[in-house]
Amino acid sequence: MNGIFIKILLSLAIFTNAAAAADSLPSWNDTAPKKAIVAFVENVTREGSPTYVPVAERIATFDNDGTLWAEQPIYFQFLFAIDRVKTLAPEHPEWKTREPFASLLRGDMKSALAGGEHAMLEIIMGTHAGTTTEAFEKIVSDWIATARHPQTKRLYTQMVYQPMLELLAFLRANGFKTFIVSGGGIEFMRPWGEAVYGIPPEQVVGSSIKTKYEMRGDRPVLVRLPEIDFIDDKAGKPVGINSHIGRRPVAAFGNSDGDLQMLQWTTAGEGPRFALLVHHTDAKREFAYDKGAEKALDEAQEKGWTVVDMKHDWKVIYQPAKR
Amino acid sequence: MNGIFIKILLSLAIFTNAAAAADSLPSWNDTAPKKAIVAFVENVTREGSPTYVPVAERIATFDNDGTLWAEQPIYFQFLFAIDRVKTLAPEHPEWKTREPFASLLRGDMKSALAGGEHAMLEIIMGTHAGTTTEAFEKIVSDWIATARHPQTKRLYTQMVYQPMLELLAFLRANGFKTFIVSGGGIEFMRPWGEAVYGIPPEQVVGSSIKTKYEMRGDRPVLVRLPEIDFIDDKAGKPVGINSHIGRRPVAAFGNSDGDLQMLQWTTAGEGPRFALLVHHTDAKREFAYDKGAEKALDEAQEKGWTVVDMKHDWKVIYQPAKR
């Protein structure tokens, strides 16, 4: 026990230093969003104050794509799926003539996606199902360790937003439990979420396909089935939060219309609440776009939610790349 | 921050006392199960040893009915459902002539359950759906605070097993994260799981019905639908564990065939693993029965899992009742 006790004391020392530090958010400019975050955290942690929130209730939920890491030119999980189509093609000769796979294999993304949601689903099911959960975890881990973004040439984990990493750490140092609540695949995020964000698998909520328990000889496995289990997006986000967390967050962070209901659900609770949208305004350092975030940005203005203007509010977007 | 810091130091002081105490399991006789538990915990917490398990991986899952609290003459959640049928009957005049409700209202449980699983499902859907999640939480909280067991006349929360409460605390004091993984309803357990077991809502996995996000005026709600979402029993338990926790437990605790797959899944992992079955052998202090646990008891013997003989291994079953 002694070893553990010392470790905890050490981590506490770090913890109090972090929280007491003059600036736990060094990559944030000293503009309104940073001030709003710091004021909220002070309000909920000030004991005896009417805005105090007990530690057990300090739940903060974060969208992933476009909120914790970039999502252009397309969700990174979809780039993973395309790489999987290429890898798996020799085992699927029928893909040469079957859409959307045929177009993808020719490098014609536009035609591949012409089928819309149905085409996306085909690609996900063709690349995310059929393995055991253990095998899929290894596939994701190997890909995330080596694949690089087509434009920045960075590892995808080097396209996480440094200011958001600081925010996650700042909240945790103040007693918050941080969760991912993403439309992305839960099994796509878990293998690297702990190392990159400090968010353990049990605090990741996402979309999922069904799994089935079966014995292979003496060994039980969970097999991933080509069947949607849950879509953790839009009105699905409060449903996923209720299912996995079982209490309403006091703070929620998103960037698009897919996060709107999560922010509504979070702010509809009693007591102090915090809602923040990351607004992609920095064409030079990241990407500039409002598409798919119009409703959320309107409602943020109407309700006084915090909006981060990436260009003006963030000193740094990504950590310096290690190659 | 100071207040929080002091609180954490105080809780740490309790924590190290608990773990360092000569006996963290005073309600357990000094027989094989207690020795096996203590040896396992020593093995996984001994730093530098080949059996050491990092804190983040110390996941322990507990069945609820028959493992953490009693389950006779029938699951307590079903007694809740029957009480709900009586309460809701004035709003449902059709129940007077509709089975299984008609029999239930006449107090004829045997006829009510003659329809088997379908009848159970009818009763659950008729009593667990149709409200918002918030309203249902209040209904459960009110019931659990006042309803009493037909035989013992105790509150149901006074029918939790004292040795298991000590075990939960002992594991947590040694860095484990404790989860409930129960066939019972997730929303039935969450309202009181934290106060009674020290297990927060986000660490409760259970069966669920679907919910739907909708706006009522300006206010978003989650409405409980009369539709099964997930059955967290038997082969569903590893599926639920994978969905909610995302990593394999190192220790699992159950009492019946409904827990068998959870114990198989847990023990199939690499490194030290612990599986325990509570065997109901004490007709005098609790109930004596093997029904529904035959397969699990056989496999426990075959694989050398720990089996608790309640009559011989536990000094106390329940805490003294407060009335």
**Could you give the ipTM of this predicted complex?**
0.92
Inter-chain residue contact B200 with A56, CB threshold 8 Å: yes
Find which of B8, B202, B211, B241 to mutate to test the A interface (most A CBs within 10 Å of its CB): B202
Q: How far is A247 from chain B (nearest CA, A)?
A: 7
In chain B, pLDDT over 90 holds for what percent of residues?
Answer: 88
Q: What is the pLDDT of residues A263-319, one digit of tens each?
A: 999 999 999 999 999 999 999 999 999 999 999 999 999 999 999 999 999 999 999
Chain A residues closer than 8 Å to B229 by CB = 243
Find which of B49, B133, B207, B243 to mutate to test the A interface (most A CBs within 10 Å of its CB): B243
Minimal Cβ distance to A4: which of B45, B177, B220 = B45
Per-residue confidence band for A20, with pLDDT thresholds at 50, 70 and 90: very low
Nearest to B179 by CA among B229, B247, B109: B247
Q: What is the pLDDT of residues A69-118, one digit of tens each?
A: 999 999 999 999 999 999 999 999 999 999 999 999 998 989 998 988 88
Inter-chain residue contact B247 with A55, CB threshold 8 Å: no
Q: What is the pLDDT of residues A99-109, one digit of tens each?
A: 999 999 998 98
Minimal Cβ distance to A20: which of B1, B133, B219 = B1
pLDDT for position A8: 52
Range name among A125-129, A156-160, B15-19 with the lowest pLDDT average: B15-19
Q: Is the pLDDT of residue B270 over 50?
A: yes
Inter-chain residue contact A222 with B200, CB threshold 8 Å: no
* Residue bearing the bigger pLDDT, A177 or A17: A177
- B180 by DSSP, 3-state: which? strand
Find which of A134, A174, A242, A262 to mutate to test the B interface (most B CBs within 10 Å of its CB): A242
Inter-chain residue contact B177 with A202, CB threshold 8 Å: yes
Residue A12's H or E segment, with its range, is helix A2-20
Minimal Cβ distance to A19: which of B1, B19, B133 = B1
* Residue bearing the bigger pLDDT, B2 or B296: B296
Count of residues in chain A: 323
pLDDT for position B4: 53
**Residue B73: cis peptide before it, omega within 30 degrees of 0:** yes
For CA atoms A240, A245, A249, A252, give the dihedral sign: negative
Residue with tokens 């292979």: A216
Q: How far is B64 from chain A (nearest CA, A)?
A: 17
pTM beyond 0.95, yes or no: no
What is the average per-residue pLDDT within B134-144? 98
Residue A75's H or E segment, with its range, is none
Minimal Cβ distance to B3: which of A1, A4, A47 = A47
Find which of B52, B213, B224, B232 to mutate to test the A interface (most A CBs within 10 Å of its CB): B213
Per-residue confidence band for A22, with pLDDT thresholds at 50, 70 and 90: low
Q: How far is A302 from chain B (nearest CA, A)?
A: 13
Q: How far is B203 from chain A (nearest CA, A)?
A: 8
**Residue A100: cis peptide before it, omega within 30 degrees of 0:** yes
Q: How far is A297 from chain B (nearest CA, A)?
A: 18
Inter-chain residue contact A202 with B244, CB threshold 8 Å: yes
Q: How far is A205 from chain B (nearest CA, A)?
A: 8
Q: What is the pLDDT of residues A152-174, one digit of tens each?
A: 999 999 999 999 999 999 999 99
Closest chain B residue to A264 measured between Cα atoms?
A: B220
Chain B residues closer than 8 Å to A242 by CB = 133, 211, 222
Minimal Cβ distance to B213: which of A45, A239, A247 = A239
According to DSSP, the β-strands at A251-254 and B288-289 are: unpaired
For CA atoms A42, A44, A45, A46, give the dihedral sign: positive
- A28 by DSSP, 3-state: which? strand
Minimal Cβ distance to B246: which of A3, A47, A202 = A202
Mean confidence (pLDDT) of chain A: 93
Beta bridge partners of A8: none
Whether B194 and B229 have beta carbons less than 8 Å apart is answered as: no
pLDDT for position A232: 96
How far from B215 is each of A36, B212, B218, CA to CA, in Å?
27, 10, 6
Residue with tokens 């209904």: B139
Inter-chain residue contact B265 with A220, CB threshold 8 Å: yes
Nearest to A12 by CA among B16, B19, B166: B16
Minimal Cβ distance to A239: which of B47, B211, B246 = B211
What is the average per-residue pLDDT within B115-143? 94
Total CB pairs under 8 A between chain A and B: 116
Q: Is the pLDDT of residue B25 over 70?
A: yes
Inter-chain residue contact B213 with A261, CB threshold 8 Å: yes
Per-residue confidence band for B322, with pLDDT thresholds at 50, 70 and 90: low
Find which of A243, A245, A303 to mutate to test the B interface (most B CBs within 10 Å of its CB): A243
Tokens at residue B55, please?
Answer: 């804190």
Inter-chain residue contact A244 with B202, CB threshold 8 Å: yes
Closest chain B residue to A203 measured between Cα atoms?
A: B245
Q: What is the pLDDT of residues B193-219, one digit of tens each?
A: 999 999 999 999 999 999 999 999 999
How far from B182 is each of A164, B4, B87, CA to CA, in Å?
36, 33, 26
